[in-house]
Amino acid sequence: MRKPLMAGNWKMNKTISEAIDFTKALKSLVADVSDVEILICPAFTSLSAVYNEIKGGNIKLGAQNLFWENKGAFTGEVSPVMIKDSGCSYVLIGHSERRQYFGETDEKVNKKTKAAFSAGLIPIVCVGETLDEREKNETLKVIETQIKNGLAGLDAEQSRTVVIAYEPVWAIGTGKTATPEQAQEVHNFARKIYSQMYKDSAEKIRILYGGSVKPDNISTLMQKPDIDGGLVGGASLESDSFAKLVKYSK
Ligand code: PEP
């Protein structure tokens, strides 16, 4: 049985005080939730302050990126150890915005994934096709390549723990969601590819859907057998709408 995970990716939004206000509000809205794992991923600057609000409770903390070295002359980067030290248990890796604007390749995604595990963080590895790739019928090929290269070389424990997020690039921040059927097709395929790599782990890992997830479309997505949660951008920025997503089954 895979426990659903609802993850909010705040991207480059919210000052420290805004992040604290959000977290206080969310805490009381989801205090009664235990059947869904709740995760928020603020900007680096707010991690510690948010952690002070959530520690000991049912909301977990994640970062949006990391660098694979633990320390050294890498100006502007943040290490896995530092992220763990700020109270995070998760980290997003290979978000399409990082791939598109910051040159993140599958090779870098793989290094970051392994570095996250070495620091005791759970990586959420993002994959997804562009509109052009979908129109050329290349969706499944893209997903296969990103999974095979980005998730290569995990040990048995890591292969059971990693989270994959399928985020069609054409659906991110556009208001266009993949239909539950389109999403299920790719999630099912992703699990099949993963099972070729890590046979016994494929049924254990959670595969999140991301791309214009909103309170009014989450429950039909979550009814699909291979969709185990959401990675949510825009709708995670307001505590009310994120709490509704967390409580999608109520
Ligand atoms: C995201 O940031 O990963 C995302 C899916 O954004 P949105 O929900 O706004 O489409």
pLDDT in single tens digits along all 250 residues of the chain: 899 999 999 999 999 999 999 999 999 999 999 999 999 999 999 999 999 999 999 999 999 999 999 999 999 999 999 999 999 999 999 999 999 999 999 999 999 999 999 999 999 999 999 999 999 999 999 999 999 999 999 999 999 999 999 999 999 989 888 999 999 999 999 999 999 999 999 999 999 999 999 999 999 999 999 999 999 999 999 999 999 999 999 8
Burial class (CB in 10 A: 0-12, 13-18, 19+), 196: exposed
Measured from CB, residues less than 6 Å from any atom of ligand 1 are 9, 11, 167, 172-173, 210-213, 231-235
Q: What is the CATH number of the domain that holds 196?
A: 3.20.20.70
Q: Tell me, in angstroms, the distance from the centre of ligand 1 to residue 77's CA.
A: 23
pLDDT digits (tens, 9 = 90+) for 100-138: 999 999 999 999 999 999 999 999 999 999 999 999 999
Q: How far is CA 245 from the centre of its chain?
A: 15
> Nearest C-alpha to atom 6 of ligand 1 is from which residue?
233
Q: In this predicted structure, what is the pLDDT of residue 250?
A: 80
Q: Tell me, in angstroms, the distance from the centre of ligand 1 to residue 232's CA.
A: 5
Split into its structural domains, the chain has a count of 1
Q: Tell me, in angstroms, the distance from the centre of ligand 1 to residue 89's CA.
A: 20
Domain extent, residue 224, equals 5-246
> Nearest C-alpha to atom 2 of ligand 1 is from which residue?
233
Comparing CA positions, the residue from 191, 90, 178, 165 lying closest to residue 134 is 178
Backbone conformation region of residue 240, classed left if phi is above 0, alpha if psi is from -120 to 50, else beta: alpha
pLDDT digits (tens, 9 = 90+) for 186-213: 999 999 999 999 999 999 999 999 999 9
> Nearest C-alpha to atom 7 of ligand 1 is from which residue?
233
Q: Which two tokens stand for residue 94?
A: 């290979």
Q: In this predicted structure, what is the pLDDT of residue 114?
A: 98
Q: In this predicted structure, what is the pLDDT of residue 157?
A: 98
Q: With the CA atoms of 152, 155, 161 and 163 taken in that order, what torsion angle do they form, in degrees rounded to the nearest 10?
A: -10
- List CB contacts of 108: < 8 A, sequence separation 6 or more: 68, 94
Phi, psi at residue 184, to the nearest 5°?
Answer: -60, -40
| Separation in Å, CA 58 to CA 17, 34, 50 | 21, 7, 13
Q: In this predicted structure, what is the pLDDT of residue 1?
A: 84
Comparing CA positions, the residue from 11, 15, 80 lying closest to residue 50 is 15
> Nearest C-alpha to atom 4 of ligand 1 is from which residue?
233
Q: In this predicted structure, what is the pLDDT of residue 176?
A: 85
Q: How far apart are the C-alpha atoms of 232 and 172, rounded to whole Å? A: 9
Residues annotated as catalytic are 95, 167
Backbone conformation region of residue 107, classed left if phi is above 0, alpha if psi is from -120 to 50, else beta: alpha
- Three-state SS string over 156-177 comes to HHHHHHCEEEECCHHHCCCCCC
Instruction: Indicate the top mutation candidate among 13, 213, 227, 237 to test ligand 1's pocket, ranked by most ligand atoms within 8 A of CB.
Output: 213
| Separation in Å, CA 128 to CA 34, 59, 159, 187, 215 | 29, 27, 20, 11, 22
Q: Tell me, in angstroms, the distance from the centre of ligand 1 to residue 13's CA.
A: 13
